[in-house]
Amino acid sequence: MTTSSRKRWPLFRFLADKLIRDGVLPTPRLIRWALYGSGVIAAGCFAGLGAFFLWTVNGLLLLLSLIDWITLPKRRQLEVIRHLPEEADIRQPFEVRIELRNRSGHPIRFAVTDDLPLSFEPIEPITGRSEGAGTFVTYVTAGRERGKYRFSTLYLRYSGWLGLWQKQATIPAEQEIKILPDLSAVRGYLSSLQDSLVLDGQRIHKRRASGSEFHAIREYMPDDDPRRINWQATARTGKLMTNLYCPERGKIVTLLLDCGRMMGVEQDNRTRLDLSLEAGLLLAAVALRQGDQVAVLAYSSGIKVYVPPGRGLAHLQTIIEAVYDLQSDFAESNHGVALTFLHRSLKKRSLVVLFSDMESYLLEDQLQAYLMRLRRSHVLLLLSLEDPLLFAWNRVSVTDSKRAYIKSIARKTLQERTAYRQKMIGQGIQVLDVPADRLALTAVNAYLEMKARDVL
């Protein structure tokens, strides 16, 4: 009786996989030597010494292969370690180091490659030579999507000093890396010694405000309020001194991140959620450095993440850990659930900054009612991204009826967005529709202006 193909196939698949992943393969050098030997054997056949040359050449190749096989290190004599950073920013290149430790005492040539997740930039196999001590090779890649990713396997192929045969091995190397939002602006602001920030070539200054909390005493300037002259300090120093006041610290800034379907639309090669998340984290860093508290609420059809209010720059890391892997859902956003949850959770007056899409503001019937209810106890700021396609169609020249129709629809949509902004501003809710490259700049400026006017 013969074994059925169904029973033979798992064994064949296992042996084939073992041979490919952890087997032994001839090198191009061995193939070249074999071809040269074939020429020698052919020449010997013409001389009548074909059998002699056949056995001599094949015996020599067999002897050299045996020597190469004996000197080839065993798998247990090699150790491969990947040195991977714990986190990296999205689309920012980072370096990965691979260390090969050879304890066999024989030099080897090797090629190693990594099993990268699909959302990472691909790499080519890295070659090198190891003679015993730890040998390092590096490659550079970048993550194109936020989240936590697992690096699971390293593939190694190595040959001995003769280089006739090469072994290949599959090495388990489980490691994880977090791909964070682009935090370059946040790090630049936090590393600055001054309370200022440069975005897109424009400097944001900490505005001098006429708050109620005493801040410092300095020399009187021509534009200062004469009623705030400190006469005691003036008498001590002999110079005209004035008191400086700043807005009260400890206010609450709440960031609402819409993670619905519309926020997954790409704009400037990034999703709207990515742009909103980067702007929100920068605003959180500025607010925390100003001494305020920051809370974060992310939602789509339901509540996804809620970070209660906290103060101090250590709280920024808590926020990043909570929101770095947020993804947009295919469901429509339920603003009512998020605003109701926020109304129940926040009892103190706060600045509520909503990052969403203008289409949600226009088409959501119940959103305005929830906003008007929330406005009674909180200050609201609605942010959305301009649609560059609307502006592009609004500027095209009309050459036929189809283009005229599309241009009229684009202009009507722009007028509706402008009318909605004016309507909400008239009801005490600030709405800003800004380009993608100015979202962070606008959010931080709006917060500092409100804080300077003691609106909070």
5 pLDDT tier (thresholds 50, 70, 90): very low
Residue 6, pLDDT score: 47
State the average pLDDT over residues 316-329.
93
**What are the DSSP calls for 38-88, one per residue?**
HHHHHHHHHTT-HHHHHHHHHHHHHHHHHHHHHHSPPGGGEEEEEE--SEE
The residue with greater pLDDT, 204 or 270, is: 270
The mean pLDDT value of the chain amounts to: 83
Counting residues of the chain whose pLDDT is more than 90, the rounded percentage is 24
Structural element, H or E, at residue 433? strand 430-434
State the average pLDDT over residues 223-247.
81
- Closest to 418 in 3D by CA, of 380, 374, 367, 384: 384
Domains of the chain in start order, with CATH, are: 75-180 (2.60.40.10), 184-188+198-204+248-452 (3.40.50.410), 213-246 (no CATH)
Residue 84, pLDDT score: 93
Residue 196, pLDDT score: 55
- Closest to 367 in 3D by CA, of 332, 336, 333: 336
pLDDT at 200 over 80: no
The residue ranges of DSSP E strands in 142-208, in sequence order, are 147-159, 165-180, 196-199, 202-205
How many whole angstroms from its chain centre is CA 320? 11
What does the pLDDT look like over 87-138, one tens digit per residue? 999 999 999 999 998 888 788 888 898 989 988 999 888 888 887 677 889 9
Provide the Cα torsion 225, 226, 228, 233; round to 10°: 130
- Tell me how long the chain is: 456
What does the pLDDT look like over 70-91, one tens digit per residue? 878 888 888 889 999 999 999 9
**What are the DSSP calls for 352-398, one per residue?**
EEEE--HHHHHH-TTHHHHHHHHHTTSEEEEEEE--HHHHHHHTSPP
451 pLDDT tier (thresholds 50, 70, 90): confident
Q: Within 13 A of 44's CA, how many CA atoms are on the CB side?
A: 15
Pairing mode, strands 165-180 and 87-89: parallel
C-alpha distances out from residue 59 to 48, 51, 52, 432, Å: 19, 12, 10, 82
State the average pLDDT over residues 253-270.
89
pLDDT at 381 over 50: yes
In this structure, are residues 394 and 414 in contact, taking their beta carbons and an 8 Å threshold?
yes
Structural element, H or E, at residue 212? none
C-alpha distances out from residue 22 to 25, 132, 146, 442, Å: 10, 22, 33, 56
Which range of 65-74, 199-208, 302-311 scores highest in mean pLDDT? It is 302-311
Residue 230, pLDDT score: 84
Residue 213, pLDDT score: 62
Query: Which range (19-23, 272-276, 312-316, 423-427) has the least confidence?
Result: 19-23
Residue 15, pLDDT score: 41
State the average pLDDT over residues 306-327.
92
Counting residues of the chain whose pLDDT is more than 70, the rounded percentage is 88
209 pLDDT tier (thresholds 50, 70, 90): very low
Residue 165, pLDDT score: 83
Taking the CA atoms of the chain, what radius of gyration do you get in angstroms? 34
Residue 146, pLDDT score: 92
Residue 310, pLDDT score: 92
Q: Angle at Cα 277 formed by Cα 275 and Cα 283, nearest 5°? A: 105
The residue with greater pLDDT, 33 or 144, is: 144
pLDDT at 256 over 50: yes
Q: Where are the alpha helices (DSSP H) in 168-252?
A: 184-191, 231-237
Residue 139, pLDDT score: 93
- Whether the full predicted model's pTM is greater than 0.95, yes or no, is no
C-alpha distances out from residue 383 to 43, 301, 431, 432, 439, Å: 83, 19, 6, 5, 8
Residue 16, pLDDT score: 45
255 pLDDT tier (thresholds 50, 70, 90): very high
